Amino acid sequence: MFDEFPEGAEADVSPVRELKPALFRGWKRRCPQCGKGPLMKSYLKVRDTCPVCGEDLHHHRADDGPAYLTILIVGHIMAPSIIWAFTVFRPEPMVLATTFTVGCVALSLFLLPRLKGAIVGFQWAKQMHGFGG
């Protein structure tokens, strides 16, 4: 009685996009489509289109996702590390605070653009927010 696709309507046959290569290309801050064009035009600003293949990248909506993942990862690495360093080495408080402040900032600055690229790659692979259209 109810056909999956009524007569005259066409199924959405958008091409399947591989998730793992898209995530990896995004992590490397490259275009998820071609893997060659730079994804970012500054530290965190995503280009509107890929300069190599022309893929539209302005559809991305990473929002707070990269910051959330960065805090999650850095916190889970640094919290046990500071307890371990304190119990094993017993450093001076200023040495411990300085070391872990620099470590947290450096790791956060390293992870943030890579996780943003991976999230853009995820959205591209899953054809979210207009990436499939």
Q: How far is the CB of 117 from Zn ion (least distance, A)?
A: 13
Q: How far is the CB of 120 from Zn ion (least distance, A)?
A: 12
| Tokens found for residue 65 | 């996702």
Instruction: Enumerate binding residues for Zn ion (CB under 5 A).
Output: 31, 33-34, 37, 50, 52-53, 55
Q: How far is the CB of 100 from Zn ion (least distance, A)?
A: 38
Q: How far is the CB of 131 from Zn ion (least distance, A)?
A: 13
CB 14 within 8 A of CB 132: yes
Q: Which is nearer to Zn ion, 32 or 66 (CB)?
A: 32
Q: Which is nearer to Zn ion, 76 or 126 (CB)?
A: 126
| Tokens found for residue 86 | 């304190």
**Residue 55 burial (CB < 10 Å; 0-12/13-18/19+)?**
middle
Cα separation, 131 vs 126, whole angstroms: 8
**Residue 115 burial (CB < 10 Å; 0-12/13-18/19+)?**
buried
Q: Which is nearer to Zn ion, 60 or 70 (CB)?
A: 60
Q: Which is nearer to Zn ion, 37 or 66 (CB)?
A: 37
